[in-house]
Amino acid sequence: MSGLSFFANLFGKKEESVLGVDIGSSSLKVVQLRKKQGRVVLETYGELALGPYGGAEVGQAMNLSAEQITETLKDLLREAKVTAKSCGVSIPFARSLLTLVELPYRKDPREQKTVIELEARKYIPVPVSEIQLDWFIVPEEDPSQNAPKEKIDVLIVAVHNDELKFLQSVITGAHLAASFYEIEIFSTIRAAVGEQVKPVMILDIGAASTKTYVVEHGVVALSHAISVGSQDITRAIAVSGNLPIARAEVLKKEKGLEGGESLSSLELVFSRIFSEVRRVLIQYETAHKKSITSIVLTGGGGITKALDDYAKSIFSIDVHVADPFSKTEAPAFMRSVLEEIGPEFAVAVGLALRKLEEM
């Protein structure tokens, strides 16, 4: 297996264990948790790059068949010594539709449901029969008892049936049982932000693209995708230093923005990402007349060394790296490692946390 793969089995086999399975564009991640006397215990975790399974380098985004992903997942489950069979699974943001719309308010929940379903059709480019539809009503910030409510904000969520069938075939092929499939953004919020009331921006730097979300009251108020990701960061290091991709992937984590020959190349890539993020940030603040209080870095690119300090100098607000494993109990000697790799595992941790809540 590749040098980027890592596994940690922290405890022996336990009952009531659950699994979060994150099927990303460049790697698979799993996190196994269980509850012990009200505490969330981390049992094992692991990652495997998809690149080598498709004849490419570690860290590169891949478009593999269900059979190839199933093979990778089975290898990962075996090497990470996963014992749980019951899991939650991520749906890629790129394969889903999220849109926030303002709709007429109806006091009767049944009428409100009808209004939402009828309006949702206007935003979905395929027949409703071909998708799974869900929605969330955004909580009011300052509900007034005097003013009659005329409008509500609704987050409409849709996933194509073909995407769900693809994921189901992978999970079944790996001999797992999934009780839910969740768009990765919601898993990330659960693991990295929680029930945040004031607006927070999540910057999820994935392999193929960067996703930026504004989260308020635990709900996605704005989402945007940027076609630059962590594989572009790795390539910049490789080109500037005339290095193999695999070595550049390691340097991204060990050196990153701390200096060296690749610094100017890295800054060029991040300037492309951050200029677009700034535009989204200003768009939100202008439209909603409120300030974003902090930025949370997550995803594979979120572990780029010294990225948080560099981002602070650009945005001049609080910036911190997601630490999803802080929501779990693990041996003290593992903490530094878990903090370091945490951004990559936000989705998998979030999925496992929801699975525990089910139980």
d(Cα 280, Cα 222) in Å, to the nearest integer?
Answer: 9
| Distances from the Cα of 271 to the Cα of 132, 193, 277, 278, angstroms | 37, 25, 10, 10
Q: Which CATH superfamily is domain 6-94+162-358 in?
A: ATPase, nucleotide binding domain (3.30.420.40)
Sign of CA dihedral 9, 10, 12, 13: negative
User: What is the pLDDT, as a whole number, of residue 301?
Assistant: 87
Buried b / exposed e over 2-19, threshold 16 CB at 10 Å, is bebbbbbbbbeeeeebbb
Residues of the chain with pLDDT under 50: 1-6, 12-14
User: What is the pLDDT, as a whole number, of residue 14?
Assistant: 46
Helix, strand, or coil (residue 13): coil
d(Cα 37, Cα 338) in Å, to the nearest integer?
Answer: 22
- Tell how far CA 113 is from the center of its chain: 28
Q: How many degrees, rounded to 5, is the angle at CA 66 between CA 206 and CA 19?
A: 65
CA atoms within a 13 Å half-sphere pointing along the CA-CB vector of 124: 25
Is-contact 31 349, C-beta < 8 A?
Answer: yes
Residue 180 tokens read as 């839910």
Domain ranges of the chain: 6-94+162-358, 95-160
Fold (CATH) for 95-160: Dna Ligase; domain 1 (3.30.1490)
pTM, two decimals, is 0.89
User: What is the pLDDT, as a whole number, of residue 194?
Assistant: 67
